[in-house]
């Protein structure tokens, strides 16, 4: 590869609710960033059209010769070895769909495809909270739970490029039903969706809490705010959430023995309020030798996936 300091990559972060596009250079500087809501039920042709339009917008006014490829982060499961979307739950019609080939045809350039958890892990590793670290586990806690693993300075991909679906560690035969169809998954207990569901259920049965007693809807941010104001139920809910996260994180420490575990996703906005109880939970669920592993908040916010997608082009990852 002829690395040129002027090189640029188009980065696409395809999500169930938003498609983000950016033009990023080798140093990780974002030159242009744009986004629009995903037409998730309109089928692959429409979504690919949206991606092409955003990519065109991102590269507008830049010398085409500087743009050496497009990295695309997509919800899984995607077989990145073959470039095929197997069955994306949040996007209609992406079943056994040849996503990479179709994007290359449409964008007219090399396309590198990555599962979103791995892409965000790559972004944090190259430019964020995991910079310079050889072994890390990245966990995104949002609507669902996803992740990616870097071990010995290499990305863990597995047979089909689908390693790191950490939300679907299942530990309860008759547990909560998960979006994946299984029961008792980590995601079914510790995702923001599960947290909010618990909050709504318990608030209805608790006359003392202020949650649900105003016109304000019960969402994750509202529960954390109420906890900060001293609301008893909200405090218990936050502590319980941290307990679940700590339990899942402990399993990941046992499996991968990382230098650091990085938490990203929407719920990481509340990291300061969760950290203490996550660490306390780790103290009881991790084996003693693993307990001092630092748990850190992701540094790139909504841009982790975009940075990871661009790094696929620059680093070949
Ligand atoms: Zn699951």
pLDDT at res. 127 = 97
Q: What is the pLDDT of residue 37?
A: 97
pLDDT value of residue 248? 97
47, 52, 55, 56: CA torsion to nearest 10 = -140
CA of 228 to the centre of ligand 1 (A): 31
**Ligand 1 center–CA 241 separation, angstroms:** 17
The pLDDT value given to residue 89:
86
Residue ranges of E strands in 240-282: 260-264
What are the angstrom distances between the C-alpha of 59 and each of 1, 55, 221, 315?
A: 22, 6, 36, 20
pLDDT at 317: 57
Distance of CA 145 from the midpoint of ligand 1 (Å): 9
Contact 183, 170 (CB under 8 A): yes
Q: How far is the CA of 123 from the centre of ligand 1 (A)?
A: 24
Q: How far is the CA of 142 from the centre of ligand 1 (A)?
A: 14
Please tell me the distance between residue 75's alpha carbon and the centre of ligand 1 in angstroms. 14
pLDDT along the chain (317 residues), means of 10: 83 95 97 97 97 97 96 94 93 96 97 97 98 98 96 96 95 91 96 97 96 93 97 98 98 98 97 98 96 97 97 87
pLDDT for residue 2 = 58
Dig out the tokens for 93 from the structure: 């019609």
Report the predicted TM-score, pTM, of the whole model to 2 decimal places: 0.95
Residue 174: other Cβ atoms inside 10 A: 6
Among residues 58, 60, 63, 47, which one has the least CA distance to residue 106? 47
């Amino acid at each position: 590869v002829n690395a040129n300091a002027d090189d640029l990559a188009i980065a696409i972060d395809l999500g169930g609710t938003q498609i983000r596009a950016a033009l990023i250079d080798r140093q990780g500087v974002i030159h242009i960033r744009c986004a629009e809501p995903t037409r998730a039920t309109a089928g692959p042709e429409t979504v690919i059209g949206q991606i092409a339009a955003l990519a065109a917008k991102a590269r507008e006014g830049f010398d085409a010769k500087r743009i050496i490829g497009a990295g695309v982060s997509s919800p899984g499961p995607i077989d990145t070895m073959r470039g095929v979307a197997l069955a994306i739950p949040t996007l209609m019609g992406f079943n056994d769909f040849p996503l990479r080939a179709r994007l290359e045809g449409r964008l007219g350039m090399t396309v590198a495809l990555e599962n979103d958890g791995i892409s965000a892990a790559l972004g944090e590793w190259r430019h964020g909270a995991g910079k310079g670290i050889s072994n890390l586990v990245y966990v995104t806690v949002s609507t669902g739970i996803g992740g990616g693993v870097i071990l010995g300075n290499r990305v863990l991909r597995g047979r089909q490029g689908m390693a790191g679906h950490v939300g679907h560690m299942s530990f309860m035969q008759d547990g909560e039903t998960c979006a994946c169809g299984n029961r008792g998954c980590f995601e079914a207990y510790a995702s923001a969706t599960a947290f909010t569901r618990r909050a709504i259920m318990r608030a209805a049965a608790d006359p003392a809490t202020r949650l649900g007693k105003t016109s304000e809807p019960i969402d994750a941010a509202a529960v954390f705010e109420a906890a900060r104001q001293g609301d008893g139920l909200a405090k218990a809910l936050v502590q319980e959430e941290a307990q679940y996260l700590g339990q899942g994180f402990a399993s990941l420490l046992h499996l991968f023995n990382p230098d650091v575990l990085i938490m990203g996703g929407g719920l990481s906005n509340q990291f300061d309020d969760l950290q203490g109880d996550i660490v306390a939970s780790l103290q009881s669920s991790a084996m003693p030798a693993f307990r001092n592993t630092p748990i850190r908040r992701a540094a790139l916010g909504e841009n982790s996936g975009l940075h990871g997608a661009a790094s696929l082009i620059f680093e070949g990852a």
